[in-house]
Amino acid sequence: MNRILALLALAMLASACSQNNETGDTAASAPTESAEAFIARVNDEYKDWWRELNAAGWLRATYINEDSAVVDSLANERYAAWHSARVKEALQYEGQEMDASTRRALDALKNGALMVAPDDDAKRKELATILTEMGGMYGAGQYCRSEDDCLSGNELELLMNTTKDYDELLEYWVGWREIAPPMRDKYARFVELSNEGAKEFGHEDLGALWRSKYDMSAAEFEADTARLWEEVKPLYDELHCHVRAKLGEHYGTDKVPQDGPIPAHLLGNMWAQEWGFIYDIMEPYPGVSDLDVDATLKRKDYSPQEMVRSAEDFYVSLGFDRLPDTFWERSQFVAPRDRDVVCHASAWNLDGDDDLRIKMCIKQTYDELRVIYHELGHNYYQRAYNQQPMLFRDGANGGFHEAIGDAVTLSMTPEYLAEVGLVASAEQSEQAVINRQMQQALDKIAFLPFGKLIDEWRWKVFSGEVTPENYNQAWWDLRLQYQGIAPPVERTEADFDPGAKYHVPGNVSYTRYFIARILQFQFQRALCEAAGHEGLLSDCSVYGSKEAGAKFKAMLEPGSSVPWQDTLEKLTGTRAADATAIIDYFEPLMGYLKEQNANRSCGW
């Protein structure tokens, strides 16, 4: 996760009036400087705020206590007042002639937030406090069997990854969700206040503001994401059918009925968002080219820093510079023993220049290693665009920021893993290819509907279609519709299951993860072409290709200074997100799944 995007979620960006408001002193007054001079001044001031907000956010995430809550909340409250004043000034330039870059910067200033507060000091303070409190509740959340036997969220996630006992999984699944009901009223109030602020920006609600960030109308964006989902849905449906059948064999069809949804706690992940941890149940050809990276990490006793060095080495092989010394001095690699921290992985650039860091609680697993490669993708993107003006130091769109590191993980092929000593063999038989694609699909394909539905739920909440009285029912309706999963026990409106997922109380947009899962394959296909790869797309690693690295850099450096379609064209030669690359990549697995499902009744 890119911390700079999360920064905008934490900052209470506020506007005093709608862009269409033609009354009052602000709208009536004439600007005292040119639009270009105004943007230059904002960029200078924003740099100072960037450092302060990130420092406060880092403190809050790595030292969860009452003092850090005060520091973080006050920093965001003060920033909101500054931003509100700058937006008021920006509105004075409406209708004026100016160059495209200045216009884009003004739009970024006005509409770049994931949340906006009303133009009211008390409400702005209330909103800042609510978000800080919800983040703290999530970060310090525990499931306690007794007063002396409590498990943190990170510990519960690890247990969900490893055990296959039905009742034990159910206990952890239900236990973690006990942290969320206290957030429910806070979240409802957060929606009220954020919608009020969004309307002052001229948007119908906060969801409409989110959908306006993609260099297309909100309606066009919704249609585009729907198109992409329909293109990949046949592959997901085949995977779901096969997974349900295998889980039925493992747990019994009394627990996993073969004509309905999959129980949500059986997929190896606390949120059933990625299913890679049930690969031992799903392995098509047992023992064929077993890529047991976990065993290597443990046998060689890789430290967290060594795991991060492995990821850094990959980027360096493409022609990127090594990370600064301060990265190694200031990052959080492990969970401290003396305090609560947010272990959810994130990448940070604290000063907008080169104070790059990651925040993780690293474990010796292949899954964690892939997360590290992903997080460094954020850091290298942050560094690549750090010569842009401050308002453009962001991804071309949210999906780009997530797709960079994801594309790099696609190059973690058996040949690559063998070359760097993480596996002993790089066998590439047809059976080995199917095994590897199954392992990847359990994460990358299984994730797609989850990536799409979280923001759809929030869009319905923000629009009022879903009210606090049916938060939980609407959540599970969408999970059934898109994922074909269901809660393992009855859930009611006394529960608030969306709050058990970090991105909801943290107010971090999620559609970008869905887009990233599409774009990463599009990026990979273009990078492999630059590297001169021939053969199956799934066999390609661009490790060591300076040609691919040069094209990668050229796409990263503009940041958000131009429409994302222009940026995409630099690497791929096309101007639209394209799911054909993901279909091409998984063509061998699709054939296997269709054979396995030939005599099954699929769907739910």
Residue entry with tokens 């394909």: 445
Q: Which of 419, 166, 185 is nearest to 268 (CA)?
A: 166
Catalytic residue among 214, 279, 510, 513: 513
Per the residue annotation, which of 83, 240, 242, 374 is the catalytic one? 374
* pLDDT on residue 113: 64
Task: Quote the pLDDT of residue 21.
Answer: 35
| Residue 219, pLDDT score | 86
Cα–Cα distance, 194 to 507 (Å, whole number): 11
The catalytically annotated residue of 83, 203, 503, 533 is 503
Tell me which of 242, 378, 401, 533 is the catalytic residue. 378
The Cα–Cα gap between 347 and 446 comes to 24
Q: Which ranges of the chain have pLDDT less than 50?
A: 4-28
pTM (2 decimals)?
0.83
Residue type at 388 in one-letter notation: Q
Catalytic site residue from 203, 344, 401, 533:
344
Q: Is residue 345 flagged as an active site residue?
A: yes
Q: Which residue has the tokens 């990233």?
A: 516
* pLDDT score of 15: 33
Choose, from 245, 345, 403, 516, the residue flagged as catalytic: 345
374 given a catalytic annotation: yes
Rounded-to-integer distance, Cα 358 and Cα 352, Å? 14
Euclidean distance between CA atoms 576 and 580, whole angstroms: 11
Residues 395 and 5: beta-carbon distance below 8 Å: yes
Q: Is 33 a catalytic residue?
A: no
3-class SS letters over 533-594: CCCCHHHCCCCCCHHHHHHHHHHHCCCCCCCHHHHHHHHHCCCCCCCHHHHHHCHHHHHHHH
Catalytic residue among 157, 196, 402, 456: 402
Active site residue 378: yes
Exactly one of 126, 157, 375, 529 is catalytic; name it.
375
Query: Vertex 418, ends 322 and 276: CA angle to 5°?
Result: 90
- The string of DSSP letters for 335-399 reads --SSS----S-EEEESSSSS-EEEE----SSHHHHHHHHHHHHHHHHHHHTTTS-GGG-S-SSHH
85 flagged as catalytic: no
513: annotated active-site residue: yes
Contact yes or no for 542/416 (Cβ under 8 A): no
Residue with tokens 């510079």: 321
Asked whether the beta carbons of 319 and 544 are under 8 A apart, the reply is no
Distance between CA 358 and CA 328 in Å, rounded?
Answer: 9
Is 344 a residue of the active site?
A: yes
pLDDT at 266: 98
